[in-house]
Structure 1
Amino acid sequence: MAFTLPPLPYDPAALEPHIDAQTMGLHHGKHHQTYITNLNNALADHGQLQSLSLEDLLSKLGELPESIRTVVRNNGGGHFNHSMFWTIMGPNAGGEPTGTVGEAITRDFGSFEDFKKKFNEAGTKQFGSGWVFVTADAAGKLEIVAKPNQDTPVMDGRQVLMGNDVWEHAYYLKYQNRRADYLAAWWNVVNWNAVNERLAAIAKGA
């Protein structure tokens, strides 16, 4: 079955003023769709791979035919990362993390402010295009990791709890070259309920 673009769970303007509607429309409808189109095209002549989940494709990149490996890495990674990205944001969000995620952040980073500082620093220092992620293991241990391009911790066998896109297309229309300002503003749209749901799923092995 071909991969498809997941709908935004909110209106493109819902994250204003922190993320503008024009950026959201282009980012979701154009950039994300392009990753999906390229991924489906790469798999079109490889029927045996079309039944695999996206996570399986990305965790077994070394087993894929060399002729499509890079395309699947870049575009499959882009599809995975963005599909996660849309779901962990929302309107009327932000604030202090709640529930199990809030407890894990305090346990592993000392405080929410220290966590944000380390996360934003990792995103700011990521050279060129890429992402900054928070991974979680089955015990709920959190770690911050930055990745280039559309790479994802799933390629290393790690589970992604949340992450922020630091490609210029994610912020340049509003923030221009001020990536640090974008990273700081992004916390106003993080949906902690959705992040808690992801952590619970990781704990269950889902």
Structure 2
Amino acid sequence: MSFELPPLPYANDALEPYIDAQTMQIHHQMHHGTYVNKLNAALEGHPELQSKTLDALMRELSALPPPVRSAVRNHGGGHYNHSIFWTLMAPNAGGEPTGAIAAAIGDLFGDFENFKRRFNDAGTNHFGSGFVWLVRTGEGKLEIVSLPNQDNPLSDGHFPILCNDVWEHAYYLKYQSRRAEYLKQWWNTVNWEIVNHRLAAAAHQPVTGAG
């Protein structure tokens, strides 16, 4: 079966003033849509791969046939990363974390402000394009990582809990080169309910013993 572009869980202008409607429309329809189309094109002629879930493709990336591995890494990663990213935001969201994620942040980073600073620093200092992530590592620990381009935590044995997109197309129309400002304002959109769902799901992932 072909992969499909998931609809946004809110209107294009729902995250204003932090993310503008034009950026959201272009980012979702054009950028994410292109990843989906190119992933489907890359899997043509490989029915054994077309039957796999996106999660499985990402986890088994190193075992994929060389002719399609690069395309799945880039376009499958782009589809997976964005599909998570949209759900991690919501209108009238943001503020302090609640529930289990608040406790985890307090245990590991001292307080929310320190966690935000470290997460934003990872995004600001990331060279070029990519995503910054909070993941559960293969050793069962929470860790902030930044990955280039559309690389995916699942391919490294991690489970993604929270992410922010630091590709320029995610913020340039509104913030121009001010990535640090975008990262700061983005916290006003974070859907902590979904983050808590992902944290709970992470607890059921196998521990591999490799970070």
TM-score after normalising by structure 1: 0.97
What's the CA shift for 1:146? Answer: 0.2
Give yes or no for the alignment of 1:33 onto 2:33.
yes
Confirm or deny: 8 A CA contact 1:140 1:199 kept in the other structure.
Answer: no
Amino acid at match of 1:156: D
State the Cα deviation string for residues 43-86 of structure 1 (Å, max 9, x = none). 01101111111111112112111111111100000011000000
Alignment partner, residue 96 of structure 2: 96
In structure 2, what is the Cα distance between the partners aligned to 1:128 and 1:3?
A: 28
Alignment partner, residue 136 of structure 1: 136
Does 130-139 or 89-98 show the bigger shift? 130-139
Identity of aligned residues (%): 60
Confirm or deny: 8 A CA contact 2:9 2:87 kept in the other structure.
Answer: yes
Q: Name the SS for the 1:10 alignment partner.
A: coil
In structure 1, what is the Cα distance between the partners aligned to 2:65 and 2:139?
A: 34
Alignment partner, residue 4 of structure 2: 4
**In the TM superposition, what are the counterparts of 1:1-206 in structure 2 within 5 Å?**
1-137=1-137, 141-205=141-205
State the Cα deviation string for residues 80-101 of structure 1 (Å, max 9, x = none). 1000000010000000000000
In structure 2, what is the Cα distance between the partners aligned to 1:14 and 1:80?
A: 22
Unaligned runs of 5+ in 1: none
Unaligned runs of 5+ in 2: 207-211
In structure 2, what is the Cα distance between the partners aligned to 1:22 and 1:181?
A: 18
How many residues in Structure 1 have an aligned counterpart in Structure 2?
Answer: 206
Confirm or deny: 8 A CA contact 1:104 1:141 kept in the other structure.
Answer: no
Confirm or deny: 8 A CA contact 1:137 1:202 kept in the other structure.
Answer: no
What's the CA shift for 1:177? Answer: 0.3
State the Cα deviation string for residues 114-145 of structure 1 (Å, max 9, x = none). 00000000000110001100002589732100
Q: Name the SS for the 1:205 alignment partner.
A: coil
Does 139-148 or 192-201 show the bigger shift? 139-148
Alignment partner, residue 209 of structure 2: none
Q: Name the SS for the 1:163 alignment partner.
A: strand
In structure 1, what is the Cα distance between the partners aligned to 2:50 and 2:146?
A: 29
* RMSD (Å), alpha carbons: 1.4
Confirm or deny: 8 A CA contact 1:138 1:202 kept in the other structure.
Answer: no
Runs of 4+ in structure 1 over 6 Å off: none
Amino acid at match of 1:122: A
